[in-house]
Amino acid sequence: MIDKKQPLLQIKNLTVTFKVQDGTVKAVNGISFKVYNGEIVGIVGESGSGKSQSMLAIMGLLAQNGITHGSVVFNGTELIGLKDNALNKIRGNEIAMVFQDPMTSLNPYLKISAQMTEILILHKQISYKQALAKSIEMLEKVKIPDAKNRIHLYPHEFSGGMRQRVMIAMMLLTSPKLLIADEPTTALDVTVQAQILELLKELRKELGMAIVFITHDMGVVANLCDRVNVMYGGGLMETATIDQIFNSPAHPYTQALLNSIPSIDEEVEKLLTIAGEPPNLLQLPDGCPFQNRCSSFTQNCINNVSLRRISSRHVSKCTLPIGEPI
């Protein structure tokens, strides 16, 4: 059940830049949104749109040349500028993150038992015996068969889908309030992908946690999320409920993403794509970053584009005459 009394996560004007040899990369450009307890919020967009960097900023996991500005309040605590020891108590305990490839997160030289029990011993200060029992229980919760024996295997002895289940189990060991999932199903076949999505929905219902799900797949968003944020060129283009996004998309970029989804009801000779290339983050254009690829472009698009309210819980950053300025 979604609790809308107070946001669990509130992001205001978050900006992430990277100093590189050629200048400054604006990876995330002033985004704002909220996530409530028990809610699954999707973040969609093409590669390079700022989806992952915005979440890495929340976790304090940016590269050394990354610079963060703005506000990220989690459960009443401001995370931007928080000292490492205070952030570490939240990261892993109250916020957890699952990445696309579990083999980049799992240590190939250690058995799963060693990696899982280490988390509990570190964060919960319990004995190895207690940690092992809790780890087996969590593996069973994510439907790892014969968990009592398989926990003593190495990561390479699991299939890709099972490794992702192990990673989810590891992240849930400390009962986090927020799980950030960064394209966790991209490398999986469609059958295993569906199983992981169903697992996340079951865990949300059972544990009451919020989930931020990063993906480029609108089909996954439709199957899993309550609300969705559409990002492009580091900015937030549209925020809406799933029904609003799929039935009445307001931003031309959102419309283009939806038009690119193959239909099983129609035979097509060629799949639709979005013409042009994403913007250079070293030299973002003034105004809307989608202007060079937009079929609805007008001169107004090069001016400062503000968010407009389309309806309740639905806003879009576009100059098209829809909705009221915020």
| Residue 263 in domain | yes
For residues 221 and 12, give the distance between their C-alpha atoms in angstroms, rounded to a whole number.
23
- The sheet carrying 23-37 orders its strands as 23-37, 3-20, 66-74, 77-78
| Residue 121 in domain | yes
Confidence of residue 303 (pLDDT cuts 50, 70, 90): confident
**Are residues 83 and 41 both part of a single domain?**
yes
**Beta 314-316 vs 235-241: how paired, if at all?**
antiparallel
**Are residues 167 and 107 both part of a single domain?**
yes
The 10s digit of each residue's pLDDT in 89-113 is 898 789 999 988 878 889 999 999 9
| Residue 305 in domain | no
| Residue 314 in domain | no
| Residue 286 in domain | no
**Are residues 115 and 213 both part of a single domain?**
no
**Are residues 159 and 267 both part of a single domain?**
no
For residues 326 and 311, give the distance between their C-alpha atoms in angstroms, rounded to a whole number.
11
pLDDT score at 324:
58
| Residues 6 or more apart whose Cβ sits within 8 Å of residue 87 | 60, 79
pLDDT score at 228:
97
For residues 163 and 124, give the distance between their C-alpha atoms in angstroms, rounded to a whole number.
24
**Are residues 121 and 224 both part of a single domain?**
no
- The sheet carrying 210-215 orders its strands as 95-98, 178-182, 210-215, 40-44, 227-232, 235-241, 314-316, 308-311, 324-325
**Are residues 84 and 224 both part of a single domain?**
yes
Picking from 117, 145, 173, the residue at the C-terminal end of a domain is 173
The 10s digit of each residue's pLDDT in 41-90 is 999 999 999 999 999 999 999 999 999 999 999 999 999 999 999 998 89
CATH number at residue 23: 3.40.50.300
Confidence of residue 326 (pLDDT cuts 50, 70, 90): low
The pTM of the whole model exceeds 0.85: yes
The 10s digit of each residue's pLDDT in 146-173 is 999 999 999 999 998 899 999 999 999 9
Number of domains in the chain: 2
**Are residues 133 and 180 both part of a single domain?**
no
| Residue 264 in domain | yes
Local structure of 203: helix, strand or coil: helix
| Residue 304 in domain | no
More confident of the two residues 183 and 151: 151
**Are residues 136 and 185 both part of a single domain?**
no
pLDDT score at 5:
76
Q: State yes or no: pLDDT of 265 exceeds 70.
A: no
- CA atoms 183, 117, 141, 86: torsion sign: negative
**Are residues 188 and 55 both part of a single domain?**
yes
- Mean pLDDT over residues 196-225, rounded? 91
| Residue 303 in domain | no
Picking from 144, 173, 202, the residue at the C-terminal end of a domain is 173
Both tokens assigned to 326: 């915020």
For residues 296 and 228, give the distance between their C-alpha atoms in angstroms, rounded to a whole number.
23
**Are residues 182 and 258 both part of a single domain?**
yes
Picking from 173, 206, 232, the residue at the C-terminal end of a domain is 173
Q: Which domain holds residue 146?
A: 103-173
Which of 198, 181, 133, 139 is closest to 163 using CA atoms? 139
Owner of token pair 């829809």: 322
Q: State yes or no: pLDDT of 323 exceeds 60.
A: no
**Are residues 44 and 164 both part of a single domain?**
no
**Are residues 270 and 188 both part of a single domain?**
yes
